[in-house]
Structure 1
Amino acid sequence: MKPYTLPLLLSLLLNSPTSWAGGIEQLKAFVAGSDSLQADFTQQVTGQRAANSQQASGHVMIQRPGKFRWTYTKPYDQVIVGDGQKLWLYDKDIEQVTVKKLDQALGSSPAALLAGSNDIEKAYVLKDAGSKDGLDWLDAKPKSSESTFQSVKMGFAKNELVVMELKDNFGQTTVIRFNKLERNPKLSADQFKFVPPKGVDVISE
Protein backbone atom coordinates (compact mmCIF):
# COMPACT_ATOMS: atom_id res chain seq x y z
CA MET A 1 0.00 0.00 0.00
CA LYS A 2 1.73 3.17 -1.20
CA PRO A 3 1.03 6.71 0.05
CA TYR A 4 -0.86 8.11 -2.95
CA THR A 5 -2.97 10.44 -0.81
CA LEU A 6 -3.12 13.94 -2.26
CA PRO A 7 -2.53 15.67 0.06
CA LEU A 8 -2.22 16.50 -0.46
CA LEU A 9 -1.90 18.46 1.44
CA LEU A 10 -0.09 20.94 4.68
CA SER A 11 0.12 23.44 7.48
CA LEU A 12 0.64 27.18 7.69
CA LEU A 13 1.56 29.51 10.51
CA LEU A 14 -0.21 32.85 10.54
CA ASN A 15 0.02 36.01 12.54
CA SER A 16 -0.96 35.06 16.08
CA PRO A 17 -3.96 36.84 17.59
CA THR A 18 -4.39 37.21 21.33
CA SER A 19 -7.16 34.59 21.35
CA TRP A 20 -7.69 31.58 19.12
CA ALA A 21 -10.77 30.95 17.00
CA GLY A 22 -12.42 27.61 16.28
CA GLY A 23 -11.18 25.21 13.64
CA ILE A 24 -13.16 26.73 10.73
CA GLU A 25 -11.97 30.27 11.36
CA GLN A 26 -8.38 29.11 11.75
CA LEU A 27 -8.55 27.19 8.47
CA LYS A 28 -9.95 30.18 6.59
CA ALA A 29 -7.36 32.46 8.19
CA PHE A 30 -4.33 30.45 7.19
CA VAL A 31 -5.60 29.78 3.66
CA ALA A 32 -6.32 33.48 3.15
CA GLY A 33 -3.09 34.67 4.75
CA SER A 34 -0.48 32.31 3.35
CA ASP A 35 0.90 32.15 -0.16
CA SER A 36 3.49 29.41 0.33
CA LEU A 37 4.82 26.92 2.85
CA GLN A 38 7.22 24.09 3.35
CA ALA A 39 7.36 21.45 6.06
CA ASP A 40 8.49 17.95 6.90
CA PHE A 41 5.72 15.43 7.42
CA THR A 42 5.02 11.94 8.65
CA GLN A 43 2.12 9.93 7.28
CA GLN A 44 0.39 6.83 8.57
CA VAL A 45 -2.19 4.92 6.53
CA THR A 46 -4.31 2.40 8.41
CA GLY A 47 -6.62 -0.06 6.71
CA GLN A 48 -9.60 -1.85 8.17
CA ARG A 49 -7.13 -4.12 9.93
CA ALA A 50 -4.46 -2.60 12.15
CA ALA A 51 -1.91 -5.01 10.66
CA ASN A 52 -2.22 -3.13 7.36
CA SER A 53 -0.76 0.07 8.81
CA GLN A 54 1.86 1.76 6.62
CA GLN A 55 4.12 4.67 7.57
CA ALA A 56 5.89 7.17 5.35
CA SER A 57 7.71 10.48 5.66
CA GLY A 58 9.04 13.27 3.51
CA HIS A 59 8.91 16.95 2.67
CA VAL A 60 6.19 19.15 1.19
CA MET A 61 6.24 22.55 -0.53
CA ILE A 62 3.19 24.54 -1.65
CA GLN A 63 2.79 27.70 -3.72
CA ARG A 64 -0.87 28.67 -3.87
CA PRO A 65 -2.92 28.34 -5.90
CA GLY A 66 -2.43 24.93 -7.40
CA LYS A 67 1.32 24.37 -7.16
CA PHE A 68 2.83 21.84 -4.79
CA ARG A 69 5.53 19.22 -4.45
CA TRP A 70 5.29 16.23 -2.11
CA THR A 71 8.47 14.20 -1.84
CA TYR A 72 8.29 10.85 -0.07
CA THR A 73 11.66 9.56 1.08
CA LYS A 74 10.68 6.66 3.37
CA PRO A 75 9.83 3.88 2.75
CA TYR A 76 9.29 4.68 -0.95
CA ASP A 77 10.90 7.15 -3.33
CA GLN A 78 7.91 8.97 -4.74
CA VAL A 79 7.25 12.52 -5.97
CA ILE A 80 3.89 14.25 -6.52
CA VAL A 81 4.05 17.59 -8.34
CA GLY A 82 1.26 20.02 -9.20
CA ASP A 83 2.50 22.59 -11.71
CA GLY A 84 -0.69 24.67 -11.89
CA GLN A 85 -2.11 22.75 -14.87
CA LYS A 86 -1.11 19.13 -14.47
CA LEU A 87 -0.52 16.67 -11.66
CA TRP A 88 2.56 14.46 -11.98
CA LEU A 89 3.00 11.33 -9.87
CA TYR A 90 6.42 9.72 -10.21
CA ASP A 91 7.04 6.32 -8.64
CA LYS A 92 10.75 5.64 -8.80
CA ASP A 93 10.44 2.00 -7.72
CA ILE A 94 8.43 0.99 -10.79
CA GLU A 95 9.82 3.72 -13.07
CA GLN A 96 6.37 5.07 -13.89
CA VAL A 97 4.88 8.57 -14.18
CA THR A 98 1.12 9.19 -14.07
CA VAL A 99 -0.20 12.51 -15.44
CA LYS A 100 -3.63 14.03 -14.73
CA LYS A 101 -5.29 17.38 -15.28
CA LEU A 102 -4.80 19.32 -12.08
CA ASP A 103 -8.35 20.64 -11.71
CA GLN A 104 -9.74 17.12 -12.01
CA ALA A 105 -7.17 15.72 -9.61
CA LEU A 106 -7.75 18.41 -6.98
CA GLY A 107 -11.53 18.77 -7.16
CA SER A 108 -12.83 18.11 -3.67
CA SER A 109 -9.72 16.20 -2.61
CA PRO A 110 -7.95 17.19 0.62
CA ALA A 111 -5.31 19.00 -1.44
CA ALA A 112 -7.97 21.52 -2.48
CA LEU A 113 -8.27 22.62 1.15
CA LEU A 114 -4.66 23.76 1.17
CA ALA A 115 -3.37 24.27 -2.36
CA GLY A 116 -6.58 25.38 -4.05
CA SER A 117 -8.43 28.69 -4.08
CA ASN A 118 -9.83 30.55 -1.08
CA ASP A 119 -13.36 29.39 -1.85
CA ILE A 120 -13.16 26.36 0.42
CA GLU A 121 -16.88 26.07 1.09
CA LYS A 122 -17.59 25.68 -2.62
CA ALA A 123 -16.37 22.08 -2.42
CA TYR A 124 -16.71 21.29 1.30
CA VAL A 125 -19.24 21.47 4.09
CA LEU A 126 -17.29 22.69 7.13
CA LYS A 127 -18.19 22.01 10.75
CA ASP A 128 -16.35 22.87 13.96
CA ALA A 129 -15.50 19.65 15.82
CA GLY A 130 -14.52 21.05 19.23
CA SER A 131 -11.22 20.72 21.11
CA LYS A 132 -9.26 17.56 21.81
CA ASP A 133 -5.66 16.78 22.74
CA GLY A 134 -4.88 20.51 22.90
CA LEU A 135 -6.05 21.13 19.32
CA ASP A 136 -9.08 22.88 17.82
CA TRP A 137 -10.68 20.61 15.22
CA LEU A 138 -12.88 20.99 12.17
CA ASP A 139 -14.59 18.39 10.03
CA ALA A 140 -14.77 18.91 6.25
CA LYS A 141 -17.08 16.76 4.13
CA PRO A 142 -16.86 16.96 0.32
CA LYS A 143 -20.03 18.04 -1.47
CA SER A 144 -19.23 16.03 -4.57
CA SER A 145 -20.51 12.46 -4.63
CA GLU A 146 -17.51 11.56 -6.82
CA SER A 147 -14.96 12.36 -4.13
CA THR A 148 -12.89 9.39 -2.96
CA PHE A 149 -12.87 10.81 0.58
CA GLN A 150 -15.66 10.64 3.12
CA SER A 151 -14.27 13.31 5.42
CA VAL A 152 -11.19 15.30 6.38
CA LYS A 153 -10.48 16.39 9.95
CA MET A 154 -7.94 19.11 10.66
CA GLY A 155 -6.44 19.97 14.04
CA PHE A 156 -5.06 23.43 14.81
CA ALA A 157 -3.00 24.93 17.61
CA LYS A 158 -2.71 28.72 17.73
CA ASN A 159 -3.54 29.07 14.02
CA GLU A 160 -1.05 26.36 13.07
CA LEU A 161 -2.37 23.28 11.28
CA VAL A 162 -0.77 20.40 13.13
CA VAL A 163 -2.49 17.30 11.81
CA MET A 164 -4.91 16.09 9.13
CA GLU A 165 -6.98 12.91 9.39
CA LEU A 166 -8.42 11.64 6.11
CA LYS A 167 -11.03 8.90 5.78
CA ASP A 168 -11.54 7.50 2.28
CA ASN A 169 -14.17 5.32 0.67
CA PHE A 170 -11.96 2.25 0.85
CA GLY A 171 -11.93 1.96 4.63
CA GLN A 172 -8.54 3.59 5.05
CA THR A 173 -7.58 6.37 7.47
CA THR A 174 -4.58 8.57 6.67
CA VAL A 175 -3.02 10.72 9.39
CA ILE A 176 -0.52 13.40 8.31
CA ARG A 177 1.48 15.32 10.92
CA PHE A 178 3.61 18.36 10.10
CA ASN A 179 6.80 19.65 11.70
CA LYS A 180 9.63 22.12 11.00
CA LEU A 181 7.07 24.24 9.18
CA GLU A 182 8.10 27.47 7.48
CA ARG A 183 5.41 29.88 6.33
CA ASN A 184 5.65 32.06 3.23
CA PRO A 185 9.16 30.96 2.23
CA LYS A 186 10.58 32.00 -1.13
CA LEU A 187 10.33 28.86 -3.23
CA SER A 188 11.99 28.38 -6.60
CA ALA A 189 9.60 28.02 -9.53
CA ASP A 190 11.68 25.02 -10.64
CA GLN A 191 10.40 23.06 -7.64
CA PHE A 192 6.95 22.99 -9.25
CA LYS A 193 8.08 21.82 -12.68
CA PHE A 194 8.40 18.17 -13.60
CA VAL A 195 10.09 16.53 -16.57
CA PRO A 196 9.76 12.73 -16.72
CA PRO A 197 13.15 11.02 -16.52
CA LYS A 198 14.31 9.24 -19.66
CA GLY A 199 13.18 5.65 -19.94
CA VAL A 200 10.20 5.76 -17.59
CA ASP A 201 6.66 4.84 -18.60
CA VAL A 202 4.30 7.85 -18.81
CA ILE A 203 0.60 7.19 -18.36
CA SER A 204 -1.90 9.99 -19.07
CA GLU A 205 -5.36 9.91 -17.50
Structure 2
Amino acid sequence: MADANLQNRLNKINGFHASFIQKLITAEGIVLHRDEGDIWVKRPNLFNWHVIVPDESILISDGKALWFYTPLLEQVTVTWLDQAISSMPFILITNNNAKELSKYHVKQSGDFFYLTPKSQNDALKKLMINISPRGMIGSFSWVNQDGLISFYRLKNNCSAFNVSKFVFLLPEGVTVDDQRQ
Protein backbone atom coordinates (compact mmCIF):
# COMPACT_ATOMS: atom_id res chain seq x y z
CA MET A 1 0.00 0.00 0.00
CA ALA A 2 2.80 2.46 0.89
CA ASP A 3 4.55 1.82 -2.45
CA ALA A 4 1.30 2.53 -4.33
CA ASN A 5 0.80 5.75 -2.31
CA LEU A 6 4.33 6.88 -3.09
CA GLN A 7 3.98 6.04 -6.79
CA ASN A 8 0.66 7.93 -6.87
CA ARG A 9 2.26 11.02 -5.34
CA LEU A 10 5.32 10.83 -7.60
CA ASN A 11 3.03 10.51 -10.63
CA LYS A 12 1.56 13.93 -9.78
CA ILE A 13 4.93 15.49 -10.51
CA ASN A 14 5.31 16.62 -14.10
CA GLY A 15 8.21 18.87 -13.29
CA PHE A 16 9.48 21.38 -10.80
CA HIS A 17 12.20 23.90 -10.05
CA ALA A 18 13.46 24.46 -6.52
CA SER A 19 16.42 25.79 -4.63
CA PHE A 20 18.13 23.20 -2.46
CA ILE A 21 20.48 22.84 0.44
CA GLN A 22 22.47 19.60 0.48
CA LYS A 23 24.30 18.35 3.54
CA LEU A 24 26.62 15.37 3.83
CA ILE A 25 26.36 14.22 7.45
CA THR A 26 28.11 11.48 9.42
CA ALA A 27 26.11 8.96 11.45
CA GLU A 28 27.12 11.03 14.51
CA GLY A 29 25.48 14.17 13.05
CA ILE A 30 28.64 16.00 12.00
CA VAL A 31 28.17 18.03 8.80
CA LEU A 32 31.09 17.19 6.50
CA HIS A 33 29.97 19.23 3.50
CA ARG A 34 27.22 21.69 2.57
CA ASP A 35 26.13 22.72 -0.93
CA GLU A 36 23.49 25.12 -2.19
CA GLY A 37 21.99 25.32 -5.63
CA ASP A 38 19.00 24.88 -7.89
CA ILE A 39 17.34 21.83 -9.36
CA TRP A 40 15.00 21.50 -12.32
CA VAL A 41 13.14 18.25 -12.97
CA LYS A 42 10.81 17.24 -15.78
CA ARG A 43 9.57 13.67 -15.70
CA PRO A 44 10.61 11.32 -17.04
CA ASN A 45 14.38 11.48 -16.63
CA LEU A 46 15.10 15.13 -17.39
CA PHE A 47 16.94 17.07 -14.72
CA ASN A 48 19.46 19.83 -14.15
CA TRP A 49 21.21 19.77 -10.79
CA HIS A 50 23.21 23.01 -10.43
CA VAL A 51 25.41 23.34 -7.34
CA ILE A 52 26.35 26.99 -6.95
CA VAL A 53 28.03 27.17 -3.52
CA PRO A 54 30.74 26.40 -2.48
CA ASP A 55 32.08 24.95 -5.77
CA GLU A 56 30.02 25.12 -8.93
CA SER A 57 29.10 21.87 -10.67
CA ILE A 58 26.28 20.96 -13.03
CA LEU A 59 24.65 17.57 -13.57
CA ILE A 60 22.27 17.46 -16.55
CA SER A 61 20.21 14.60 -17.91
CA ASP A 62 18.70 15.03 -21.36
CA GLY A 63 16.82 11.75 -20.91
CA LYS A 64 19.53 9.65 -22.56
CA ALA A 65 22.93 10.99 -21.51
CA LEU A 66 24.14 12.29 -18.17
CA TRP A 67 26.51 15.26 -18.28
CA PHE A 68 28.62 16.17 -15.24
CA TYR A 69 30.35 19.52 -15.72
CA THR A 70 32.87 21.09 -13.34
CA PRO A 71 33.62 24.65 -14.54
CA LEU A 72 36.65 25.04 -12.25
CA LEU A 73 38.31 22.00 -13.86
CA GLU A 74 36.98 22.87 -17.32
CA GLN A 75 35.91 19.25 -17.71
CA VAL A 76 32.69 17.40 -18.50
CA THR A 77 32.12 13.67 -18.08
CA VAL A 78 29.29 12.14 -20.10
CA THR A 79 27.76 8.69 -19.54
CA TRP A 80 24.55 6.96 -20.55
CA LEU A 81 21.79 7.73 -18.07
CA ASP A 82 20.67 4.09 -17.83
CA GLN A 83 24.20 3.10 -16.73
CA ALA A 84 24.16 5.68 -13.92
CA ILE A 85 20.65 4.98 -12.58
CA SER A 86 21.66 2.33 -10.05
CA SER A 87 24.07 4.69 -8.29
CA MET A 88 21.62 7.62 -8.12
CA PRO A 89 18.81 7.29 -5.56
CA PHE A 90 17.51 10.64 -6.81
CA ILE A 91 16.44 8.94 -10.05
CA LEU A 92 13.32 7.58 -8.30
CA ILE A 93 12.00 11.15 -8.25
CA THR A 94 12.83 11.88 -11.88
CA ASN A 95 11.51 8.82 -13.71
CA ASN A 96 8.07 7.29 -14.20
CA ASN A 97 9.29 3.71 -14.02
CA ALA A 98 7.48 1.70 -11.33
CA LYS A 99 10.10 -1.01 -11.91
CA GLU A 100 12.72 1.16 -10.15
CA LEU A 101 10.43 1.58 -7.13
CA SER A 102 9.79 -2.17 -7.01
CA LYS A 103 13.45 -2.66 -6.03
CA TYR A 104 12.66 -1.22 -2.58
CA HIS A 105 10.61 -2.06 0.50
CA VAL A 106 8.45 1.02 1.19
CA LYS A 107 7.00 2.18 4.52
CA GLN A 108 4.91 5.30 5.03
CA SER A 109 4.44 7.64 7.99
CA GLY A 110 2.26 10.60 6.99
CA ASP A 111 4.01 12.41 4.15
CA PHE A 112 7.30 10.57 4.77
CA PHE A 113 8.20 7.47 2.77
CA TYR A 114 11.07 5.25 3.87
CA LEU A 115 12.65 2.96 1.28
CA THR A 116 15.14 0.18 1.87
CA PRO A 117 16.65 -1.78 -1.03
CA LYS A 118 15.58 -5.39 -1.47
CA SER A 119 19.09 -6.20 -2.73
CA GLN A 120 21.83 -6.52 -0.10
CA ASN A 121 24.41 -5.59 -2.74
CA ASP A 122 23.06 -2.06 -3.05
CA ALA A 123 25.40 0.78 -1.98
CA LEU A 124 22.31 2.49 -0.57
CA LYS A 125 21.14 1.57 2.92
CA LYS A 126 17.92 3.60 2.99
CA LEU A 127 16.14 6.48 1.30
CA MET A 128 13.57 8.93 2.70
CA ILE A 129 11.24 11.10 0.62
CA ASN A 130 8.97 13.78 2.12
CA ILE A 131 6.23 14.34 -0.46
CA SER A 132 2.77 15.85 -0.04
CA PRO A 133 -0.43 14.27 -1.41
CA ARG A 134 -0.28 16.94 -4.18
CA GLY A 135 3.18 15.73 -5.26
CA MET A 136 5.27 18.53 -3.71
CA ILE A 137 8.65 17.27 -2.48
CA GLY A 138 9.84 18.97 0.70
CA SER A 139 12.99 16.95 1.29
CA PHE A 140 14.72 13.69 0.58
CA SER A 141 17.74 11.95 2.00
CA TRP A 142 19.62 8.72 1.75
CA VAL A 143 22.06 6.77 3.86
CA ASN A 144 24.93 4.90 2.22
CA GLN A 145 26.16 1.55 3.54
CA ASP A 146 29.07 3.41 5.17
CA GLY A 147 26.59 5.44 7.25
CA LEU A 148 27.04 8.79 5.49
CA ILE A 149 23.78 10.71 5.13
CA SER A 150 23.00 12.95 2.15
CA PHE A 151 20.15 15.30 3.06
CA TYR A 152 18.37 17.65 0.64
CA ARG A 153 15.83 20.29 1.62
CA LEU A 154 13.93 21.90 -1.24
CA LYS A 155 12.49 25.41 -1.01
CA ASN A 156 10.60 27.75 -3.32
CA ASN A 157 9.27 24.75 -5.24
CA CYS A 158 7.54 25.83 -8.50
CA SER A 159 6.66 24.25 -11.83
CA ALA A 160 7.40 27.03 -14.36
CA PHE A 161 10.73 26.85 -16.23
CA ASN A 162 12.23 26.53 -19.71
CA VAL A 163 12.93 23.00 -21.00
CA SER A 164 16.25 24.23 -22.43
CA LYS A 165 17.56 23.59 -18.88
CA PHE A 166 17.92 19.92 -19.90
CA VAL A 167 20.27 20.52 -22.82
CA PHE A 168 23.99 20.62 -22.09
CA LEU A 169 25.80 23.14 -24.26
CA LEU A 170 29.50 22.36 -24.35
CA PRO A 171 31.53 25.43 -23.40
CA GLU A 172 34.53 26.22 -25.58
CA GLY A 173 37.85 24.80 -24.38
CA VAL A 174 36.30 22.18 -22.08
CA THR A 175 37.82 18.68 -21.92
CA VAL A 176 35.26 15.94 -22.61
CA ASP A 177 35.53 12.53 -20.93
CA ASP A 178 32.98 10.55 -22.95
CA GLN A 179 32.26 7.22 -21.25
CA ARG A 180 29.32 6.21 -23.49
CA GLN A 181 30.91 3.05 -24.87
Q: TM-score of the superposition, structure 1-length normalised?
A: 0.75
Q: Is 1:153 equivalent to 2:128 in the alignment?
A: yes
Cα offset for 1:196? 2.4
Could you say which residue in structure 1 is the equivalent of 2:172?
A: 198
Letter in 2 for 1:168: N
**In structure 2, how many angstroms separate the alpha carbons of the residues matched to 1:138 and 1:189?**
29
Letter in 2 for 1:40: S
Q: Is 1:54 equivalent to 2:33 in the alignment?
A: yes
Could you say which residue in structure 2 is the equivalent of 1:110?
A: 89
SS of the residue corresponding to residue 150 of structure 1 reads: strand
Identity of aligned residues (%): 24
Could you say which residue in structure 2 is the equivalent of 1:173?
A: 149
Cα offset for 1:50? 5.3
Could you say which residue in structure 1 is the equivalent of 2:48?
A: 69
For residues 4-43 of structure 1, what are the structure 2 equivalents within 5 Å? 24=3, 27-43=6-22
Could you say which residue in structure 1 is the equivalent of 2:163?
A: 189
Q: 1:116 to 1:156 in 2, by over 3 A?
A: closer
Alpha-carbon contact 2:66-2:78 (below 8 Å) kept: yes
Could you say which residue in structure 2 is the equivalent of 1:124?
A: 104
Cα offset for 1:188? 2.5
SS of the residue corresponding to residue 91 of structure 2 reads: helix
Could you say which residue in structure 2 is the equivalent of 1:13?
A: none
**In structure 1, how many angstroms separate the alpha carbons of the residues matched to 2:114 and 2:76?**
33
Which runs of 5 or more structure 2 residues have no equivalent in the other structure?
none
Could you say which residue in structure 1 is the equivalent of 2:23?
A: 44
SS of the residue corresponding to residue 164 of structure 2 reads: helix
Q: TM-score of the superposition, structure 2-length normalised?
A: 0.84
**In structure 2, how many angstroms separate the alpha carbons of the residues matched to 1:158 and 1:34?**
11
Letter in 2 for 1:66: N
Matched residue count? 177
User: RMSD in angstroms over aligned alpha carbons?
Assistant: 2.4
SS of the residue corresponding to residue 165 of structure 1 reads: strand
Letter in 1 for 2:156: K
Alpha-carbon contact 1:72-1:78 (below 8 Å) kept: yes
**In structure 2, how many angstroms separate the alpha carbons of the residues matched to 1:144 and 1:70?**
27
**In structure 2, how many angstroms separate the alpha carbons of the residues matched to 1:97 and 1:108?**
18
SS of the residue corresponding to residue 152 of structure 1 reads: strand
Cα offset for 1:51? 5.2
